[in-house]
Amino acid sequence: MRTIAANTNSPLRVKNLGDIVTRRFCPSFFETDYVKIILPLLYESDLGAAGVLDEDGNLSGLLTERAILRHMFARSFDKLVHPTNIKKYLDDMMVDEVMIPHPETFDDDISIEDAAAIMLRRGYRYMPVVNRLDRKRLIGIVSERELAQQLKEQLEEAKRSENTHKSLLSYMLCEPYGNGYQPKEM
């Protein structure tokens, strides 16, 4: 397993996907790793997806819990696999058998709004985020939940800002300097 460490020097204000994924741990695995070793690590890290790297350390796939489970269930009902061999087959399963090869990616400088719109339109739950200058270099994985949380926070911030501006405008237009003008309620 290769980990991508969190960047503790990241800005407080989240502006793009790079700001989100560099703030936290992101696991990545190699194509030749065994799935039985990876599942507990994904579970412990509370992540539903991880990046898959080739032997050169470049992004080659996306590994999701859902893809693993679908593959496991498909093999357990496969008529070509004898029921007594299913456990051995699952124990020997490697990442390259279950990963999503050559996934679509986001550049690290894409806005949260644009990324959320793309994920919603295409039905993705997770997407790899790569360096915009080296599109093979994985920075992290972003989830639809993270994007939804960021959009919710941006909306709340916009509402607070709007209320602050209304309060400030009302104060500025009050007596004695505003000649008694009162803004209309919106």
- Tens digit of each residue's pLDDT, the chain (186 residues): 555 545 444 445 778 999 988 888 888 999 999 998 888 888 887 788 999 999 999 999 999 988 988 888 887 777 777 777 777 777 888 999 999 999 999 999 999 999 999 999 999 999 999 999 998 999 999 999 999 999 998 888 888 877 776 676 666 666 555 555 555 665
From CA 13, how far away is CA 111, in angstroms rounded? Answer: 13
Q: What's the confidence (pLDDT) of residue 172?
A: 60
Whether 131 contacts 110, CB under 8 Å: no
Q: What's the confidence (pLDDT) of residue 186?
A: 55
φ, ψ dihedrals at 29, nearest 5°? -130, 165
Q: What's the confidence (pLDDT) of residue 11?
A: 41
Q: Does domain 2-144 have CATH number 3.10.580.10?
A: yes
Q: What's the confidence (pLDDT) of residue 9?
A: 47
Half-sphere exposure of 132 (CA within 13 A, CB side): 8
Q: What's the confidence (pLDDT) of residue 98?
A: 93
Encoded amino acid at 169, one letter: L
Q: What is the pTM of this model?
A: 0.74
